[in-house]
Structures are given as structure tokens and as C-alpha cells.
Amino acid sequence: MFRLLIDDEIFIYQRFGGVSRIFSELLKRLPQEKDVDLVFSSTYSENEYLNNLGLTLLPPFLKGISFPLKGKITRALLKLINHKRVNQRLLKGKITVFHPSFYEHYYLGALQKSNTKLVFTVHDLIHEKFPVNASDQLMAAKKAANIAIAHKIIVVSEHTKKDLLAQYPLLEPSKIEVIYLSHSLPTLAEPIADLPETYILFVGERAGYKNFEQLLQVFVEISKDYPNLHLFCAGSRPFSADEKKVIRDNSLENRVKQKALTERQLKFAYEKALFFVFPSLYEGFGIPVLEAFACQTPVLISNRSSLPEVAGGAACLFNPNDKNDLSLQMKSLLNDVNLRKKFVALGNTRVKDFSWEKHYALTLAVYRSLI
């Protein structure tokens, strides 16, 4: 029997999201292990996955209620409570393995005074490669502090491992374990009333390295030859002022749409799309690729970072620095139904290589290797 501590940091920040999904999948399965004494507690969270597991001390009574500075106030209070709780547990010296759920450093002092082994997950090196502000620099520094003392480091792709070793050349490669992710789309889809009939799908954040600006520019040109074609963007953030200007200047207000979707609606959006396009310049893994595969949707992705690794030859690739290449590959998929069917079949096979059960089993093996 060993005692495993997981903190709830990511559940303070995310209502939905890839990282909180990873840890919710672990927390869902860990109680079944007879040799694991799981130590986890969350005072309050509006995270959907965590609340579905019933692992919060208080029900999400503030959900749907808005007031000035709600996010900052609740995060500050929850951090104050939960950071103190985690540090007390580490200092008692009875925790065998600690796996923090987010990039933080509040526990480092207590951790170094204990015999606890640290498992740290690096999802990507976006903060190091694409820094925008001081917040990114702080996040990179927090990661570096954890990496320096971690006993095991989990990364989500071979490409992320390569990036990590390039960023930290003194890091011992044997400390790093590559454990792939999976997707969590529900079985049932929920129809979307105002969904266009013929559209290309984009999913997620759009700014910076996500390279949406290039996709929008290419769509402006392609739209002239395909008058019934739409670009549908699934994501929580409305279009920015710059995006709206491009759309408005090209009279595409009725053909480029953005909408926040539930997971069941997202599944529906994948299923009805002509194809899914992911022009990102950098991804640590790229869960939307697997989501599209699972929905039998053809996939067009950039040939950068981990995306070709995850796709495994089951997606159409393009150079994200070449607008002409993106335009060419989009037209190929638009014009050739057999090409779309080919990528559907390949994706349907490839997605079977990934599961949360595999991710969990390999993560549990990392924990056990440190006992």
C-alpha cells in the first residue's frame, strides 16, 4: 500500500478542459486499486468532470451566478485553503507520491522537507516557445522548478519529450515517460439548430500559435469559388475585433460563425462537418484530432509538432507557413469525396490506438515504479 496525493489546482481554474479531463480520468479509476491510498480533496469547484465524480466538499452553489471579480475572488480563497492543506499533508511525511495537477510551485518548500516522490506532467512547451507576456514567463519558471526536482516526468507525446530535452539538456532522459492521451466525447450527439448545411469545422482557441488568422485568410479566398461553403468555429471565445473586421470586410458575416458548444453538441458538429481543420503551429498532443477520428470526420492538420505523430498517417497534412499549401489541401478535400472517405477509414482505425484505460495503466505504473 502506498499513499498518493493529487492536488486540485487545475479544477480551480477549469470548468472544462484537457488537463482537468486527464486528472478526472485518473481520479475516477484510482479508488479501485487495493494498493493505492488516494489522498484528494477539493473544497469547491465548478469543474464539470470533478462534480460528476462527486469529489468536492461543497456543491457548486455559485455555478451560474455572476458578480464582480467572481473568478479572482473564488480562486484566491480556494488556493489559500487548498495550498495550506496540501503543504500540511506533505510535511506530515506520510505521502509516498505527489502528482500536482497543474504548473505550480507553492508546494516545493514542503516537498523538499519530505521523502515524497514527485511525478510532474509536462503537457507542452508553449509557454517557453510562444511567450506572450509575464504570465507565460512565470509559468515556464514554475515548470522549470518542478522539472529540476521531479523523480518522474510524464509527457504526452514523443515530440514533447524531444522539446523537453532540447529545453533542458541536462535532464536525464530515463526520468521521462511518454503516455498518450485519449478523447472523451460522449456516445450521444445533440443536434445544433442553426448549424450550416455545408461547412468546415475549426475547434478551440484561435489566437497566436493556433494560427486561425491564416485559416481565415485562406477561407476568404476559397469562399469565392464555393458560395455555399461555411466556416464554423466551435469555441467559448467570441470573435475578436480583428477577426470581425476581416469577416465584415469580406461580407462573410453569414458564412463564418462562432458558437460555444456542449460536448454532445461538439460531437454533432464533428459528425456533420465536411472535414475538420487544425492549422496550429504547436501542440503538445492535439486531442481534437482524436475527436474528429472518433466522429468519422476527415482531418486536415498542420505538419508541425506532435500532430503528425498523433495522426499516424490518418490525416491530410499541410505546411502551416504556406497559405497556398493550405488552400490546395482544402480544395482537394472539398472536391474529392473518395479522398474524404479514405481519411475517415484511416482515422477510424487510428483512434483505436488511444484510450483513457491505457493512459491510466501507464500512469499507475509510473507511480508504482517510485515505491
The residue assigned the cell 460531437 is 267
> 336 and 209 in one domain?
yes
CB atoms < 10 A from the CB of 308, how many? 17
**Measured CA angle at 115 (ends 111, 117), to 5 deg:** 75
Whether the pLDDT of residue 315 is over 90: the answer is: yes
Identify any residues that bridge with 243 across adjacent strands, giving them in sequence order.
none
| Digit-coded pLDDT (tens) for 256-279 | 999 999 999 999 999 999 999 999
The cell numbers describing 234, all together, are 466551435
> 116 and 46 in one domain?
yes
Higher pLDDT, 122 or 62: 122
Question: Residue 13's Cα: distance from chain center in Å?
Answer: 13
> 346 and 204 in one domain?
yes
Whether the pLDDT of residue 11 is over 90: the answer is: yes
| Digit-coded pLDDT (tens) for 124-141 | 999 999 998 999 999 999
> 349 and 265 in one domain?
yes
Range in 191-195, 275-279, 345-349, 354-358 the model is least confident about: 191-195
Q: Is residue 187 part of a domain?
A: no
> 61 and 7 in one domain?
yes
Q: Is residue 45 part of a domain?
A: yes
Is there a contact between 59 and 88 (Cβ–Cβ < 8 Å)? no
Whether the pLDDT of residue 328 is over 90: the answer is: yes
Q: Is residue 133 part of a domain?
A: yes
Q: Percent helix, strand and coil across the chain, each rounded to 5? A: 45, 15, 40
Q: Is residue 62 part of a domain?
A: yes
Mean pLDDT of the chain: 96
* Model pLDDT, residue 59: 86
Q: Is residue 193 part of a domain?
A: no
| Digit-coded pLDDT (tens) for 158-170 | 999 999 999 999 9
> 203 and 157 in one domain?
no
CATH number at residue 168: 3.40.50.2000
Q: Which pTM does this prediction carry?
A: 0.94
| Digit-coded pLDDT (tens) for 57-100 | 888 888 888 888 888 999 999 999 999 999 999 999 899 999 99
> 359 and 321 in one domain?
no
Q: Is residue 276 part of a domain?
A: yes
Q: Which residues contact 347 (CB under 8 A, 6 or more apart)?
A: 292, 293, 296, 297, 298, 299, 311, 314, 315
| Digit-coded pLDDT (tens) for 178-232 | 999 999 999 999 999 989 999 999 999 999 999 999 999 999 999 999 999 999 9
pLDDT band at 17 (very low <50, low <70, confident <90, very high): confident
Q: Is residue 126 part of a domain?
A: yes
> 327 and 257 in one domain?
yes
> 362 and 279 in one domain?
no
* Model pLDDT, residue 60: 87
* Model pLDDT, residue 134: 94
CB atoms < 10 A from the CB of 98, how many? 24
* Model pLDDT, residue 104: 96
pLDDT band at 119 (very low <50, low <70, confident <90, very high): very high
Count structural domains, the chain: 2
Dist CA 120 CA 212 (whole Å): 31
> 320 and 220 in one domain?
yes
Q: Is residue 194 part of a domain?
A: no
- Domain membership of residue 165 as a residue range: 2-182+355-369
> 340 and 247 in one domain?
yes
* Model pLDDT, residue 209: 94
Is there a contact between 306 and 157 (Cβ–Cβ < 8 Å)? yes
Whether the pLDDT of residue 347 is over 90: the answer is: yes
* Model pLDDT, residue 311: 98
* Model pLDDT, residue 246: 97
> 106 and 148 in one domain?
yes
